Structure 1
Amino acid sequence: MSQLAIGQRTFTNPIKNSGPDPWVIQKDGWYYYMNTTGRNLTLWKTRNVAELSTAESKIIYTPPPGKAYSRDLWAPEIHFFNNRWYVYFSADSLNNLTHRVWVIENTSPDPMQGEWTMKGKIGDKGDHWEIDMSVVDFNGQLYAAWSGWEGPTNGRQDIYIARLKNPWTIDGDRVKLSQPDLPWERHGDVPQEWQKNGEVPKIYVNEGPEFLVHDNKLFLVYSANACWLDYCLGLLTYKGQGDLLDPANWTKSQQPVFTQSAENGVWAPGHGGFFRSADGKQDWMIYHANPSEKDGCGNKRAPHIQPFTWNADGSPNFGRPVAKTPMPVPSGS
């Protein structure tokens, strides 16, 4: 749990004792936060994201029973486009094979108020399996990125991108930008309870893509391997020219850009996002991590935040997961 020192402006990670798939957006000095609950969409609001464990929270949407989006609500993200709020979330009706992404909308200036309405499923023409969608406005055009597969039996999750007509409608076909093809992305042993007849199947994972924009440069930071293994972050970089939907216009970093830190007690870091401090002076990342190596994909995954910097070539430098010691809160909080 976050520990905010009385009379000081410091905190200690994690900022909340549980919170898989964390996401935060800062707008007008307020931080709006979400994470996977599985059952509903809960929103937190605070002036200081380091005080998240005591922040105001509200269940903003509970799906009706029996719908295609009633179960296994994962990885919700709140965004603000065209003076309206949108939440993107993955959900299913029966099991993981039916996971798709859904969008709700709120026209209130304060997303904790007003009414959230279902806009519908946001999917490609082939209605493929999809999870972990994030959306960005880049040079006046909306794009979505997510994790999907070519088929449920190929044992591989890939990163896809598409252009949007509006915040809830994909325009055209999906395009695959990345698949787990590098050695550090292919640590694919599945948990023992998934193994059958002594067989050890492999699942190779690229998921949780998050856009990052800096000085008109565009990046996609994604999670590789799996939450029950050595989850880590990879990086895709848009070359700066040409169609974003052409894979040739992206480069993939040959090594992970953020990995677990046994010495600091931070295991399997991944699936997060990026935000600016309230005064606009600092860049921060948020991610979930486990407190030990064997904690897997459950609710021990907790949100951590830390500042990051930029390399001389304009790429992000995330460093290493910081130790669980006091450090300054985001500036302007």
Structure 2
Amino acid sequence: MNTPLVEKRADPWVYLHTDGYYYFCGSVPGYQVIELRRAKKLTDLKNAETVNIWHAHDEGPMSKLIWAPELHYWQGKWCIYFAASDDENVRDAKHHHNIFVLEGEGDNPLTAKWTEKGQVKTHQDSFSLDATVFEHNGDLYMCWAQLEPAIHNNSNLFLAKMKNPWTIEGKELLLSIPEYPWEQVGFKVNEGPAEITHGNKVIITYSASATDENYVMGMLWADKDADLLDGYSWHKSTEPVFKSAAENKLWGPGHNSFTKLNGKDVLIYHARPYTQIDGDPLDNPDRHAYAKYFTWTDEGLPDFGKPGDENQIQ
């Protein structure tokens, strides 16, 4: 039996703060609110009290399809990155979905004072979503998914430094495109990036293909002393690093995050316990959040195993 960490929360994000709490957010069915919860034990997140810290606007660019919020802490303030749209019926046009930021002041993000900092303006004025940020050598970087109009793909991954948590500064690197067949099933997609640094490597995982049972995870990595905005610094897995496990009844794993439990590295991901989806997979709420331990190879890269294997956290 595979027990979800949190039920019906796709795009799960878990952040372990210095206060000892695990904080959780994800896409809430209906896509109209940003919800936070916290617990001292990772497995207590399922039943933790939830607080809606922000609600979609009645109209405009932050009114529809509130997707994939991520909670971060940077220089004494909280930040939440999320995607939003002005039209719930248009999901692949040049415009509509974009990346927005909230800034929170206070020790506890569930009770913090939140301020809308607006849209993260990228160089291309096009469909964008799934922003994540990470610190490297004292700089803040953002990695996100975006449509490049000159490339016939649904979304690609970009990377840039940040002037502040809501402003890109300087060069944007086109980090990855969906070039392999396993990245192009249903849709040509690279999305949902997440970063982890281990040893001498900066590693970015991401998700690819349609959000049904074909959803898989890929991986990019660079030397931590390399110029992260130089495309030649990066390597890319030629095969998926995490994919459906029919034998464990978990399909379409992806849109992951990372945390720790008992000093061990943990992969947080969503998956479905079945494959027969009625209608649009994005409207189906049964992508649950799961957690599992993972290990490291001799080359310093993660070995995620399979969804629902013996390392699954119940």
TM-score by length of 1: 0.86
Aligned partner (choices 180, 183, 193) of residue 181 of structure 2: 183
1:112 maps to 110
1:86 maps to 79
1:14 maps to 4
Deviations 1:38-97 (A, max 9, x none): 101000111112122210110001133123111110000000000110000000112333
Runs (5+) with no aligned partner, structure 1:
1-10, 189-202
Question: How far apart, CA to CA, are the structure 1 residues paired with 2:170 and 2:312?
Answer: 45
State the 1:128 CA deviation.
Answer: 2.5
Deviations 1:178-232 (A, max 9, x none): 11111222223xxxxxxxxxxxxxx211111111111242011000111124111
1:263 maps to 247
2:308 maps to 322
Runs (5+) with no aligned partner, structure 2:
none
Question: How far apart, CA to CA, are the structure 2 residues paired with 1:288 and 1:152?
Answer: 31
Question: How far apart, CA to CA, are the structure 1 residues paired with 2:214 and 2:103?
Answer: 35
Change in CA separation of 1:176 and 1:326 when aligned onto 2, cut-off 3 Å? closer
- 1:116-155 map, 5 Å: 116-151=114-149, 154-155=152-153
- 1:156-235 map, 5 Å: 156-188=154-186, 203-235=187-219
Change in CA separation of 1:45 and 1:227 when aligned onto 2, cut-off 3 Å? same
1:303 maps to 289
3-state SS of paired residue (1:116): strand
Aligned partner (choices 5, 14, 23) of residue 24 of structure 1: 14
State the 1:137 CA deviation.
Answer: 0.5
Look up the equivalent residue of 2:56 and give its one-letter code: P
Change in CA separation of 1:273 and 1:176 when aligned onto 2, cut-off 3 Å? same
* Pairing 1:58–2:51 present: yes
2:97 maps to 99
Deviations 1:107-136 (A, max 9, x none): 101101121100111121332321111000
Look up the equivalent residue of 2:33 and give its one-letter code: N
Question: How far apart, CA to CA, are the structure 2 residues paired with 1:125 and 1:31?
Answer: 34
Deviations 1:164-191 (A, max 9, x none): 0111111124221111111222223xxx
Moved over 4 A (4+): 325-329
Look up the equivalent residue of 2:306 and give its one-letter code: R
Look up the equivalent residue of 1:40 and give its one-letter code: V
Q: Is the 8 A contact 1:239 1:251 kept in 2?
A: no
Aligned pair count?
302
Look up the equivalent residue of 1:110 and give its one-letter code: N
State the 1:240 CA deviation.
Answer: 3.5
Look up the equivalent residue of 2:272 and give its one-letter code: N
1:3 maps to none
Fraction of identical pairs, as percent = 34
Change in CA separation of 1:253 and 1:327 when aligned onto 2, cut-off 3 Å? closer
Q: Is the 8 A contact 1:228 1:294 kept in 2?
A: no
TM-score by length of 2: 0.91
Question: How far apart, CA to CA, are the structure 1 residues paired with 2:311 and 2:233?
Answer: 41
Question: How far apart, CA to CA, are the structure 1 residues paired with 2:308 and 2:159?
Answer: 31
Q: Is the 8 A contact 1:269 1:288 kept in 2?
A: yes
Q: Is the 8 A contact 1:13 1:305 kept in 2?
A: no
Aligned partner (choices 206, 227, 230) of residue 246 of structure 1: 230
Look up the equivalent residue of 1:312 and give its one-letter code: D
2:40 maps to 47
Look up the equivalent residue of 2:266 and give its one-letter code: W
Change in CA separation of 1:255 and 1:293 when aligned onto 2, cut-off 3 Å? same
The root-mean-square deviation of aligned C-alpha atoms, in Å, is 1.9
